[in-house]
Chain A
Amino acid sequence: MLHISEYRDSRLCHSIASRIAARSSRPVRIMEVCGTHTVSIFRNGIRWLLPEGVDLISGPGCPVCVTAQGEIDAAISLARQTDTIVATFGDLIRVPGSNSSLQQEKAAGNDVRIVYSASDAVEIARQNPVKHVVFLGVGFETTAPTIAASVLAARQAGIENYSVFAMHKIVPPALEALMEMEGVEIDAFLLPGHVSVIIGMQGYSQFFENYRVPCAVAGFEPVDILRALLRLTEMLDTGDSQLENCYPRAVAEQGNPAARQIMDTVFEVCDADWRGLGWIPASGMQFRDAFADHDARKKFNVHPPDVAPPAGCACGDILTGAKTPPECPLYKTRCTPINPVGPCMVSTEGTCAAYFKYHEVQ
Chain B
Amino acid sequence: MCLAIPSRITDIESGVATIDVEGVQRKASLMLVEDARVGDYVIVHAGFAIQVLDEETALSSLNFMRDVFLSDNPPENM
Contacts and interface: CB of A to CB of B under 8 A. Distances in A.
Interface of A: 2-4, 6-7, 11-12, 15-16, 19, 34-36, 40, 63-64, 89, 91, 116-120, 139, 142-143, 145-146, 149, 152-153, 193-194, 197-198, 219-220, 223, 227, 248-250, 256, 258-259, 262, 349
A3 to B, nearest CB: 4
B14 interface: no
A258 B33 contact: yes
Interface residues of B, number: 30
A223 B65 CA distance: 9
B39 to A, nearest CB: 12
Dominant secondary structure of chain B at its interface with chain A: mixed
Interface of B: 1-2, 4-6, 29, 31-34, 41, 43, 45-48, 50-51, 53-55, 57-59, 61-62, 65-66, 69-70
Contacts of B54: 248-250
B70 A197 contact: no
A193 B4 contact: yes
A12 B70 contact: yes
A197 B58 CA distance: 15
A4 B62 CA distance: 11
Contacts of A250: 43, 51, 53-54
A91 B70 CA distance: 40
A143 B4 contact: no
A56 B16 CA distance: 39
B46 A256 contact: no
B33 A117 contact: no
Nearest to B58: A249
